[in-house]
Structure 1
């Protein structure tokens, strides 16, 4: 798989990363179905074999269990992987999520030290603030992150789900390498808000999580009842009621275009993000899907194909909110 520069500070990564969130539960709830540790670790190893050594995790996932699983997978081969993790959802000393945000200087250091232990490493390649702490100026948080860079514990820093104004303030304190946000054919708010323009201007890359619309684009979901009873997608407006079936029609149109190219809809969606110049990190916990996802790096799309694909879901068309009202309120706008 080809590699590209992530941001302009020197980090080089494969075109497609691997999102690890679904490999463990969060606060006891399974994400996208039950995970098997052995299969998850095999997925990480297969990804590496195919050139996919860019792993994305967070202390939130578990909490802490996901980082520990990643540590098991990379043990003895740390230098072959590029590890990104995130902090900001507060985890207390009993390893319990408080569901508060904490970007204070003291917590940044505490969270980083804990992630280093969990990952079994002495450095983190890319360290993100997971969500903006409304009670702490972003400048304070980024200053603390910059201190970690000076200490050699973190190599590059980034933010997640932030506005252009926040990006500019943070970038003045210490150069950002990446901003992570949900981005897919179904979710293009970051474009509509001109955040992508800000990133291009400042030399910061966009890392796209949920590039397959949280599984919608895969085409495997036919009804809201296809989700397990505890699947968090049942709480997301995009997957509810009439909006679900409207979105399903869009999936069918994407599938038709994918069939013309003899690729899957998921591969087409990933190839579209690559063509836009961003780095997708599709999440999976199964070997067969990581193989399919990485194969998307070989797909080339003409301008006509890009135009046809974007015409299915034009910029500005609503596909429903991507979180419930409470979680939508946590996104910096």
Structure 2
């Protein structure tokens, strides 16, 4: 019997997050994309990831109001059997105006959302289907479990999960084919409770924001300014790392403080940040975003270096003022 999709393997694993390649979309006058994109470049980047052995791609129906799924589906044409596709549902949007117009977490909406995602992706199934609304009551989550299990039996999905940062919530959705929690975690913002939960339950931690929305890259400095169609340029309240379209000085200072440790041993800063996640537990599967083949190559290059050492974790905890007992490796 094959292991279920997204089961922890004990070896470093890497996916690619497809939010940025969806291009602009909005909620009212607030941007929720990462600015304009070139679909040809996005396609080349996806295919370069495949060439480098990356076989997991995480998207959502709302990214670019369906555009990310369409681009990904076309880029993977003819190679679908080589990859795992994760997508999400829960946001309601208008593809024509690229506007988020609401949310729907009812059991009846799940099938409609999945059918639309399958059409855009050009496939007959997704490997991981994730609830994209982070704050749903336990009763609402339990109500969704039955239809998700039906979709597994019917073959439309292989497994399901939840994108949430609240460690108390995932058990409410955890039927037999629940395999993953997507949550924010990176070297600047650890998530010990969630990592402890996923390790205990044998679920994968799909690590969202592994590069702190790009801040864990030398590209951004105190003089950087994001465009008005970039979510970081007119940031929502939950986005911590940028303020008024610029890197937040507090987080920039913390990034610079850990730079030397992360970039040691021939790693780049980005590769060190990914190595920190692999050191936090074998269930960790980071999904850094990308726009270009060069970014994909740097991300994938982290696999050659692997996880940071326990000593490096302790050094980073000391620099960031964290207690090693609560923020050391989860396994």
User: TM-score interval w.r.t. the shorter chain?
Assistant: 0.7 to 0.9
CA contact (8 A) 2:141 2:172 kept: yes
Q: Which residue of 2 aligns with 1:328?
A: none
* Structure 1 residues 226-305: aligned runs within 5 Å: 226-234=225-233, 235=235, 236-240=239-243, 244-277=248-281, 278-300=284-306, 301-305=308-312
CA contact (8 A) 2:65 2:99 kept: yes
SS of the aligned residue for 2:212 comes to coil
CA apart distance, 1:90: 1.8
Q: Which residue of 2 aligns with 1:214?
A: 213
What runs of 5+ residues in structure 2 fail to find an aligned partner? 324-331
CA apart distance, 1:100: 2.4
Pair 1:61–1:208, CA change in 2 (3 A): same
Partner Cα separation in structure 1 for residue 32 and residue 278 of structure 2: 29
* Structure 1 residues 1-333: aligned runs within 5 Å: 6-7=6-7, 15-27=13-25, 29=31, 31-91=33-93, 97-132=99-134, 134=136, 137-171=140-174, 173-188=175-190, 190-191=191-192, 194-223=193-222, 225-234=224-233, 235=235, 236-240=239-243, 244-277=248-281, 278-300=284-306, 301-315=308-322
Calculate the aligned-residue CA RMSD, in Å.
2.8
Pair 1:53–1:14, CA change in 2 (3 A): farther
CA contact (8 A) 1:258 1:268 kept: yes
What is the TM-score with the length of structure 2 in the denominator?
Answer: 0.84
Partner Cα separation in structure 2 for residue 199 and residue 237 of structure 1: 24
Partner Cα separation in structure 1 for residue 231 and residue 149 of structure 2: 34
CA contact (8 A) 2:125 2:158 kept: yes
What is the TM-score with the length of structure 1 in the denominator?
Answer: 0.84
Pair 1:308–1:181, CA change in 2 (3 A): same
SS of the aligned residue for 1:262 comes to coil
Pair 1:133–1:140, CA change in 2 (3 A): farther
CA apart distance, 1:175: 3.5
What runs of 5+ residues in structure 1 fail to find an aligned partner? 317-333
Relative to structure 2, which stretch is displaced further, 296-305 or 112-121?
A: 296-305
Which of the pair is proportionally richer in helix? 1
CA contact (8 A) 1:22 1:30 kept: no
Pair 1:95–1:127, CA change in 2 (3 A): farther
Equivalenced residue count is: 308
